[in-house]
Amino acid sequence: SQQGEEDPQALSIQEGENATMNCSYKTSINNLQWYRQNSGRGLVHLILIRSNEREKHSGRLRVTLDTSKKSSSLLITASRAADTASYFCATDVSGSTLGRLYFGRGTQLTVWP
Amino acid sequence: DTGVSQDPRHKITKRGQNVTFRCDPISEHNRLYWYRQTLGQGPEFLTYFQNEAQLEKSRLLSDRFSAERPKGSFSTLEIQRTEQGDSAMYLCASSSGYLGTGGRQETQYFGPGTRLLVL
């Protein structure tokens, strides 16, 4: 079953604008990860945030985590056409020793030049 | 290229045929995962190996599916008597199982996937 849900399902913006995607999940986690997937391709790891972290940055990416609300957000600043892709959050659930990831359905981001 | 590789990238088969996919993880990664992704959905876990041991199988993995990881290196996923519902992208990922001071910080690195179409 999919424990994470991204919101919105689709997002369309102009180049240069910021894009914000949200993720909600259901159970306690070890960490939460964001991945990008270009159409028909594999997943590219973007960033991992641990359960004891609240915010993390990587280049134009900013991720926040609120474990009390069981939610995370991914902000892409100054977006580019090349950022067009599907973005997935994935959770590593607490109590699991195996590290399997639970993915949401993703947010389809389209950045228009 | 030192990333995860999968072969073939595309496979078209007729219903009832058997197919086998291969995954080569990042060298020295002891953990290997298989996921399946259907159109418009996120990846769903199928099975997990730590070295050569298959430690978990999802209920999605019916008896027609079998996976192996001999010698703890590459892995194969075989689907017997394929059905149209098996059409999907099959993704492989590997990780080193890193445990940091803040708990598990394992990053899974995904391959490009094998897209299966069952006619």
Residue B98: per-residue pLDDT: 62
Residue B27 CA to residue B9 CA, distance in Å, equals 20
Residue A94: per-residue pLDDT: 79
Give the residue from B2, B7, B12 showing the smallest Cα distance to B23: B7
The percentage of chain A sitting over the pLDDT mark of 90, rounded to a whole number, equals: 77
First to last CA, chain A: 36
Residue A7 has pLDDT above 60, yes or no: yes
Cα–Cα–Cα angle for B98, B50, A94, rounded to 5 degrees: 55
Residues from B contacting A (CB-CB < 8 Å) are 4, 6, 31, 33, 35, 40-45, 48, 50, 55-56, 89, 91, 93, 95, 97, 100, 102-113, 115
Cβ atoms of B89 and B6 closer than 8 Å? no
Taking CA atoms, B29 is separated from B49, B56, B63, B68, B116, in Å, by: 11, 17, 27, 16, 26
Residue of higher predicted confidence among A94 and A111: A111
Between strands A107-112 and A10-14, the pairing is parallel
Least CA distance to B96: which residue of chain A? A99
The percentage of chain A sitting over the pLDDT mark of 70, rounded to a whole number, equals: 96
Residue B66: per-residue pLDDT: 95
Cα–Cα–Cα angle for A12, A16, A18, rounded to 5 degrees: 60
Cβ atoms of B47 and B67 closer than 8 Å? yes
Nearest CB neighbour to A45, from listed B6, B104, B109: B109
What is the rounded average pLDDT for all residues in chain A? 92
Residues of chain B with pLDDT under 50: none
Residue A53 has pLDDT above 70, yes or no: yes
Residue B91 CA to residue B45 CA, distance in Å, equals 9
Q: What is the largest CA-CA distance in chain B?
A: 50
- What average pLDDT does range A79-102 have in this prediction? 88
Residue B2: per-residue pLDDT: 75
Task: Kindly report, residue by residue over A18-37, the tens digit of the pLDDT.
Answer: 999 999 999 888 899 999 99
Residue of higher predicted confidence among B26 and A96: B26
First to last CA, chain B: 33
Residue A105 has pLDDT above 60, yes or no: yes
Least CA distance to A9: which residue of chain B? B40
Residue B103: per-residue pLDDT: 56
Residue A11 has pLDDT above 60, yes or no: yes
Residue A15: per-residue pLDDT: 97
> Which residue shows structure tokens 């972290």?
A53
Residue A4: per-residue pLDDT: 74
Residue B62 CA to residue A112 CA, distance in Å, equals 42
Task: Name the residue type at position B36.
Answer: R
